[in-house]
Copies of this chain bind each other. A is one copy, B any other.
Amino acid sequence: MKTIQNLDDFLDFAWVQISRGKADKKSPARHPTFITSSTDYPNARTLVMRQCDRENDQIEFHTDTESYKMLSLRENSHAGIHIWLPKVNLQIQMNVDVDVKNGDITIPYWNNVPASSRIAYGTIPLPGTVIKNPFDYEYTPDQKRFAVLICHIQTIQLLLLGHKHIRAKFKKETNWQGEWLSP
């Protein structure tokens, strides 16, 4: 178990792990779970972390404008990010406010998306449509179907499992000054 001396250490340790999500394709932080609300059941899905930026408290994901998560975000832009890192026994939970960008504003982002990844934006028929056979769909990459989700991090809660667990919460509104919590 990593030895954590103080609250700032703990947050630094978490950000090292989050940042590995961008740099290291094998890190579980590469594939966070993105959680949205709904009037019936809350929804969660694995997404690829596209950017993370501690300076600006942001994490970036990409999605198809016609995906179910876009519908959920239109109803409620308050979402969650969850990362579980089994090797270091660390759980990272974030509350985020999501700014959805689509249309012409995404063109500079789209230009940086490799052709092999663009196929994820523009499937016909629309994602979630019932089809007769598993491969009854086509990839038709389309910048108009491409959305960038900028997640503005509001809180980070950390739980490090060990002989005795340690838990803390950090809030943007207090400039990321943390508090220890009973686990």
Contact = CB atoms under 8 A, between A and B. Distances in A.
A123 interface: yes
Interface of A: 4, 31, 33, 35-38, 40-46, 78-80, 82, 84, 86, 91, 93, 95-96, 123-137, 154, 164, 166-168, 179-183
A35 B43 CA distance: 7
Nearest to A179: B130
Contacts of A164: 135
A42 B42 contact: yes
Given A86-B31, A182-B128, A78 B40 contact: yes
B132 A181 contact: no
A34 to B, nearest CB: 9
